[in-house]
Structure 1
Amino acid sequence: MEVRGQYLINEKTVMMTNEYSNREEVWTKVIEGEETFLVKKAPTDVIVESLLHVGSNFLGATRSLKYLYSPMRIRPISVDPQKGILLFPTKNVKRLSCIWFSLIHVKNTKPVGGSKTEVSTSFGHTILLDMNESCFITRWNKALELKARISKHLKCPIHFYVEPIQDFYISKSSNGNNYTL
């Protein structure tokens, strides 16, 4: 798998998750369009750099969310409001099993058993999560609501994204630390 030193979140970023390197360092596995690669930084570091490149920062983005919402434990974050790029985590961002989804790429969900959820995204990818569907939908809806509030204030046009056909099925590996394709 390709390894990159840095990465900026963009319109094709579907999701990011923690990945252990061979040296047990926390890196980021990125699915961007039809590509999958690793970045030698933790997902929150990738988000921080991406925010800096659009003239924002992590503290400002989280303060903005607190202003628009009452405090919440698990927060979506607007990376580039002009392009409609907003990410939301599946769990507390300090947990290694957290996945960051790009709002524009989540298409639908399906419960699997009692406590798992399949999330379908753009490019035909399907991600199996260790969380129930209602919990995921709550986080997804909070992200949709944040995007609507930001768009209203910015008076941004609605963005449409056309995807090519490609698919992956992503699930947790047998060791329970990393996700596999």
Structure 2
Amino acid sequence: MLDNFYSPSYEVTPLTMAIIAQQDENGNTSACVLEEQEEFSAHYSPSKIIDNACKFFGSSLRGRQDGTRGICGITHKAPISIDPTSGMYFFPTTSPTNPECSWVAHSHIDQVNQGPGRQTKIVFKNRKTILLNVSFGSMLNQVQRTAQYRYLLDNRIKYLHRHNADVVAEPFA
């Protein structure tokens, strides 16, 4: 039953480090998924995989983007939380409507370095690296915006836990 709802063959987890856009020989967008221990291809665009992951947790990519806008005012290339309780915060490398948009998991990043030309090298905590066609300045901005969003959302969740610990839901009459 869950497979019918969550149609893609790949499920984003806390082990997902990045979902990288790639083009096949026919020009169709697919994804290279980087996990902590493995790497494989998926037959969906990175933004479609992210959207389905959001739907698995009760929202959508659009809903998560709207939530980001409401919390910290970011309107373009908004970072999202697929599931804040498991620390799954991702940011897009370009507009999510762009077929070249890749998604990077904030919690797995160890370093962001200048690459050749207008590229950026990301070093993950497990020492794997990727080279993305995104300027160094733009990538640093995305990492910082995601950190700000993560901080604000985590503080909201902590506040609710502290102030609602003794509240018990009441049944309908």
RMSD: 2.0
Task: Determine the structure 1 residue equivalent to 2:91.
Answer: 88
Check the 8 A contact 1:6/1:46 in 2, yes or no.
no
Distance 1:94 1:153, change over 3 A: same
What is the alpha-carbon distance in structure 2 between the residues aligned to residue 62 and residue 133 of structure 1? 23
| Alpha carbons of structure 1 residues 112 and 25: separation in structure 2 relative to 1, 3 Å | closer
Answer 1 or 2: which has greater strand percent: 1
- Which 5+ residue runs of structure 1 have no aligned equivalent? 157-181
Superposition TM-score, scaled by structure 1 size: 0.76
The aligned counterpart of 1:98 is 101
Gaps of 5+ in 2: 1-7, 160-173
1:148 has 2:146 as partner: no
Structure 1 segments of 4+ aligned residues over 6 angstroms from their partners: none
Mapped contact 1:14–1:122 kept (Cα < 8 A): no
Indicate the structure with greater helix content.
2
Partner residue in 1 for 2:20: 17
- Kindly indicate whether the alpha-carbon contact (under 8 Å) linking 2:47 and 2:103 is maintained by their aligned counterparts in 1: no
Percent identity of paired positions between Structure 1 and Structure 2: 20
- Deviation at 1:71? 4.2
Question: Looking at CA atoms only, which structure, 1 or 2, has the larger radius of gyration?
Answer: 2
Report the counterpart of residue 133 of structure 1 in structure 2.
136
- Report the alpha carbon displacement of residue 68 of structure 1 after superposing the two structures with TM: 1.1
Task: Count residues in correspondence.
Answer: 153
Bigger relative contact order, structure 1 or 2 (CA pairs below 8 A, ≥6 apart): 1
Q: Which of 70, 75, 97 is equivalent to 1:72?
A: 75
